[in-house]
Amino acid sequence: MKYVDEFRDPELTAHLLHELTAATTRPFRVMEVCGTHTMAIFRSGLRGLLPPEIELISGPGCPVCVTSASHIDAFLQMAELPGTHLAVFGDLFRVPGSNGTTLAHARARGAKIDVVYSAMDGLELARRNPDEQVIFPGIGFETTTPGIGATILAAGQQNIDNFMVFSTHKTMIPPLMALLGDPALAIEGLLCPGHVSSIIGAAAYQPLAEQNHLACVVSGFEPTDILQALILMARQIGEGRSEVENAYTRAVTWEGNGRARAMVATIFEPVDMEWRGLGTIAGSGLAIKKEYGGFDAQSRLSITVPESKEPPGCLCGQILKGITAPPSCPLFGRRCTPSSPIGPCMVSSEGTCSAWFTYGNETR
């Protein structure tokens, strides 16, 4: 398959691995921020092929995983209101709220909930069902937000007033700033998320690199993309540099996508946001502006977000911070599996625990 096979070429991979080994002069820890990276590294079997000096730690970049239990509770509240119809991303379906209830449970009890592939599908659902209040729980980072914003604009243009979004959208840089302030993390390299970077641009990591003496490399998601990024990183670390480099030039520019950012800024404004496991981080979320309040489910339906209660024993918070690896969690693989997840990191296919469970840990 074009644009895929060439980036999974075994010979090229072997060559890059050789180069990476040569560039790695001492042990170092890298955080891969994005859940898609975590999954790609496991799925391709790359984890077992890397030089042993490189320690990979998964970061907080799985949008489902960082959605707080209180926000799931709010989604459940909305699902159970009369006349509502939720349109949700598939991997949100099985995430437990504070008391272990999921949207899948709510649907089994009679709530109207459909899995959709984009917010636009939710808008279509609203158009077809004018008697219902169709609500799209907005989750995700800079990659997802422009699509949701465009849907809100489209709803306005088409005068569809029974479509709403409950925004829990998040931005990537503030939590990274907060995490990197913790000396316990002790990472020297950051594998920056390719999709998010296509919007925010490689330049966005400049302050992180400078303030934390961190080698930041933007990476794509194929095995050779990740290897190329790690080679650049190993060289920076070996030479004592801490710069931002872009190893995903076929998708990411230095400035990013200004048009998408402008559109997001038209509809959303920064707000303090609660993250699962990380607590509330100032300015890390996006709320719908007053001018678009008609599409804001939280204000229109007067939903109060309850206080989060984390499941007892669940270490998702520590795992999202990169402090603990999944097998150290007492629930992992016993009470918490992808079939009956307790914490969000086990639910999403991009979640760190799900990746460790699905693809095993014996390769490293």
Applying the rule CB under 8 A, the residues between 262 and 281 that interact with other proteins are none
82-86-90 Cα angle (round to 5): 150
Given candidates 121, 161, 269, 310, which one binds other proteins under the rule CB under 8 A? 121
Task: Return the SS3 of 129.
Answer: coil
Site string for other proteins, 183-202 (x = CB under 8 A): ------------x-------
- Listed in order, strand segments (DSSP E) in 45-202 are 54-61, 84-89, 112-116, 133-138, 163-167, 169-170, 189-193
Total residues interacting with other proteins, rule: CB under 8 A: 54
| 358 near other proteins (CB under 8 A) | yes
Asked whether the CA dihedral 327, 101, 136, 293 is positive or negative, the reply is negative
Q: Distance between CA 276 and CA 66 in Å, rounded?
A: 5
String marking each residue 128-167 x if it binds other proteins according to CB under 8 A: -----------xxx-xx-----------------------
Q: Cα 94 to chain center, whole Å?
A: 16
CA distance 169 to 285: 6
Q: Which of 19, 21, 43, 160 binds other proteins (CB under 8 A)?
A: 43
Binding-site member from 91, 225, 245, 296 for other proteins (CB under 8 A): 91
Rounded Cα distance between 149 and 135, Å, is 14
CB of 227 to other proteins, least distance (A): 9
CB of 307 to other proteins, least distance (A): 26
| Binding-site ranges for other proteins (CB under 8 A) | 1, 4, 8-10, 13-14, 36, 42-49, 63-64, 89-94, 115-117, 121, 139-141, 143-144, 195, 223, 327, 332-335, 337-339, 348-350, 356-363
